[in-house]
Amino acid sequence: MTLAFLAYPAAVVLAHPDWGAVAHGALIPTLRSDSGYLLLVVALIGTTITPYQQLFQQSAVVEKGVASQHYDAERVDAYTGAVLGNLIWACVMIATAATLHARGKTDIQSAADAAQALAPIAGQFAEQLFGVGLLGASLLAAGVVPLATRIRLAKHSGSAKVSGSTFVEPRCFMVCSRRSLSSAPEWPCGPASR
């Protein structure tokens, strides 16, 4: 489902952005001090540098039991994922600027508004394509966030790996999943809960 995001590079090509303006904006950012701009900067940084993903990435290498001689392949995997992810998100921003901002649409209040950036590639199906991509990203996060939480809880309890610790139990994983979705503060899966 997250493959729907691959529509953004095509949308960029079909939207014919002003590449001079894209390069200028990427290399020489406009800085302002108004609260709306600062909130946008914090949101952009917060969604780009996600701590749970950083914790998950390094812990997944440990959990898989990757030998040190295979770290180069893991590094390539991590770098490739980071570069491709950032390229896709650059395409999201460029397509949005070339389609919405160019038409004066700067007050995006809903997913339907944001989906219009896909109109050059998806036409009348832009909202559906955006919805599929949003669903895919949400389902991916619904799996990764509880897993990263479980890994951190296991590490906090002193386990070198999650495998074999009390945090590997299905009950704990389900509780972590439900709690991360509901944001409830109760975590009944550690040694103290026994």
Q: In this predicted model, what pLDDT tens digit does every residue of 132-191 receive, in sequence order?
A: 888 877 777 777 777 777 777 766 766 655 555 554 555 665 666 666 556 544 444 444
Instruction: Give the pLDDT mean for 110-136.
Output: 84
Give the pLDDT of residue 170: 58
User: Of 48-52, 86-90, 182-186, where does mean pLDDT reach its minimum?
Assistant: 182-186
Residues 6 or more apart whose Cβ sits within 8 Å of residue 145: 52, 180
* Residue 42, amino acid: V
How far apart are alpha carbons 170 and 19 in whole angstroms?
50
Helix (H, G, I), strand (E, B) or coil at 132: helix
Domain ranges of the chain: 2-193
Give the phi and the psi of residue 154 in degrees, each rounded to 5: -65, -45
**Most confidently modeled range among 45-49, 60-64, 127-131, 156-160:** 127-131
Q: In b/e form, how buried is each residue of 95-124, taking b as 16+ CB within 10 angstroms?
A: bbbbbbeeeeeeeeeeeeebbbbbbbbbee
Q: What string of DSSP letters covers 13-73?
A: HHH---HHHHHHHHHS-----SHHHHHHHHHHHHHHS-HHHHHHHHHHHHHHT--GGGHHH
Q: Is the pLDDT of residue 67 over 50?
A: yes
**Most confidently modeled range among 3-7, 47-51, 60-64, 77-81:** 77-81
Give the pLDDT of residue 146: 73
Per the model's pLDDT, the better-predicted residue between 101 and 55 turns out to be 101
Give the pLDDT of residue 19: 95
Q: Is the pLDDT of residue 107 over 80?
A: yes
Question: Do residues 116 and 105 touch, judged by C-beta distance below 8 A?
Answer: yes
Give the helix/strand (H/E) hosting 151: helix 126-156
